[in-house]
Amino acid sequence: MEQKVCIAMVPCPGLSHLIPLVEFAKLLVLHHKNFHVKFLIPTLGPPTPSTNSILNSLPPNIDFTFLPPINIQDLPPNIHISTQMILTVKHSLPSLYQAINTILTSSQSKNNLVALVFDVFSTDVIDIAKKFNLLSYVFATSSAIALQFCLNLPKLDETISSEFMDTTKTFDIPNSKVSFKVKDFPDPVLFGRSSKTYKSFLHLFQRFSLVDGIIINSFKDLEQDTIKSMEDFLNVYPVGPIIQKESKSKENESKCITWLNKMPQKSVLFISFGSGGTLTNEQINEIAFGLELSGFNFLWVLRVPSKHSNSAYFSGSSQKSNHDSDDDPLKYLPLGFLERTKDQGLVVPSRAPQIEILSHGSTGGFLTHCGWGSSLESLVYGVPMICWPLFAEQRMNAATLTDVFKVAVRPKIDEEDEIIKGEEVARVIKIIMDQNLRDSEGLQLRRRIEDLRVGAAAAVSEDGS
């Protein structure tokens, strides 16, 4: 039997990092019949049901192995989620070395291992690739613009000033035509140069010159200038948009689709904050007020409120996340809201099939946390967005969607109460959803995202680049 070309992929913990890498692997084995992909997965604890569901449905040319879980006692207490992901991979390197050595030395292996592909937060895997003389590729689950900022971080760090960390300032990204407000920088940067979170984040991008290439989940029609500027000094491969073909969670699917089927075309605002986003109870009340005030149809995926925005997507977490609790999210809505809006909207608890909803003809807008996966899904299906970032690099994504791609609006936070008021929620909903306003901001957004939808379709076509 002919020996297959084997590629080992090392994700970092977190569904939002695992899913796009899995989808990329599926495309590789679909288009290259002689390829075999093996996932070697660092873990902090037992895999979640969602993780198991994704991995157990892989095609025959892809398999997976969970590396032994690291000891949580070996991690510093109260560390940021990004540092936790980085250290989980770093502490898993001995196990990864053994796993790869076994693949390479096994006399029964039918696979010729040639390369390691790993997540941005798994960059320490470069050391393993070098030891075994394997090709190494980073798979970036972010936009090219966000990656460009991070790639420039080591150089910025050498010449950093107090102005760089002044959140009231705007900062030009080197080798780019893009500017960002400092307050929209990714979370680890805002911790400051002296923090361990910042230092571990910086460490990742100081090593990018060592890899053989960077694979980006984006496409040239979307980020042509940024991708071109990166190609001047790195091997860059834009392979996107890579999204799931269907939602893994079928929770509430029949209820949502049946309801959407009764709604007019482009009339429904879909509201969801991804796999781990939660809001405070006060903010939930303001969104509810804004929805009523707007009068537009809505489908809202609601989770139990928390004191702060939540990153419960971390797959290795041993803690039970808010949206997996037995608490009923709907009881946190304002008194009488469900009755008053029974003809206007549908509220479902915890989860909904996002792909099926965004691709439905009745969906006309998406209020999103701006995770890159959700942003790409919205672009692919031509659904304009209301940006509501919560954590990680989502604020940078929001700024990109509104100011660079011009396919979204972003509500203003009330500076006194540090919350988005219901009147502001209603205002941005009207911009996105009102189809009757001619020469409006919303009309321009819809035209722009339709152009990008066509570009996304061309990028993933058989002859797309």
Which residues belong to CATH 3.40.50.2000 in the chain? 4-238, 253-459
What single-letter amino acid sits at 96?
L
CB 167 within 8 A of CB 52: no
Rounded CA-CA distance 381/452 in Å is: 9
Report, as residue numbers or ranges, the catalytic residues: 17, 119
Helix (H) or strand (E) holding 84, with range, is: helix 81-91
pLDDT of residue 258: 97
For the purposes of burial, counting CB atoms within 10 Å of the CB of 110, is it exposed (0-12), middle (13-18) or buried (19 or more)? exposed
CB atoms within 10 A of CB 113: 19
Rounded CA-CA distance 440/245 in Å is: 33
Rounded CA-CA distance 461/457 in Å is: 6
CB 100 within 8 A of CB 92: no
CB 148 within 8 A of CB 229: yes
Rounded CA-CA distance 146/374 in Å is: 15
Nearest to 64 by CA among 38, 27, 97: 38
Main-chain phi, psi angles of 63, to 5 degrees: -130, 175
Cis peptide before 47 (omega within 30 of 0): no
pLDDT of residue 323: 43
Unique residue bearing structure tokens 């994504």:
397
pLDDT of residue 381: 98
Rounded CA-CA distance 41/99 in Å is: 11
3-state secondary structure of 405: coil
Rounded CA-CA distance 241/71 in Å is: 36
Query: Could you give the C-alpha distances from 93 to 86, 87, 315, 434, in angstroms and in order?
Result: 11, 10, 18, 53
- Show the CA angle centred on residue 417, arms to residues 412 and 418, nearest 5°: 50
pLDDT of residue 317: 39
Rounded CA-CA distance 278/276 in Å is: 7
User: What pTM did the predictor assign?
Assistant: 0.92
Query: Could you give the C-alpha distances from 363 to 268, 359, 452, in angstroms and in order?
Result: 5, 7, 17
Tokens of 242: 């890579």
| In CATH, 253-459 is 3.40.50.2000 | yes
State the helix-helix crossing angle for 372-380 and 15-31, rounded to 10 degrees: 50
Query: Could you give the C-alpha distances from 446 to 266, 431, 437, in angstroms and in order?
Result: 11, 10, 12
Nearest to 391 by CA among 314, 285, 296, 287: 314
Mind listing the pLDDT tens digit of every residue in the chain (465 residues)?
567 899 999 999 888 899 999 999 999 999 999 999 999 999 998 998 889 989 999 999 999 999 999 998 889 998 999 999 999 999 999 999 999 999 998 866 667 999 999 999 999 999 999 999 999 999 999 999 999 999 988 988 887 666 566 778 888 877 677 889 989 999 999 988 889 999 999 999 999 999 999 999 999 999 999 999 999 889 999 999 999 988 877 788 999 999 999 999 999 999 999 877 899 999 999 999 999 999 999 999 999 998 765 544 443 333 344 444 578 999 999 999 999 999 999 999 988 999 999 999 999 999 999 999 999 999 999 999 999 999 999 999 999 999 999 999 999 999 888 899 999 999 999 999 998 876 689 999 999 999 999 999 999 885 544
Three-state SS string over 142-211 comes to CCHHHHHHHHCHHHHHHCCCHHHHCCCCEEECCCCCCEEEHHHCCHHHHCCCCCHHHHHHHHHHHCHHHC
Rounded CA-CA distance 130/207 in Å is: 12
pLDDT of residue 313: 43
DSSP 404: I
| In CATH, 4-238 is 3.40.50.720 | no
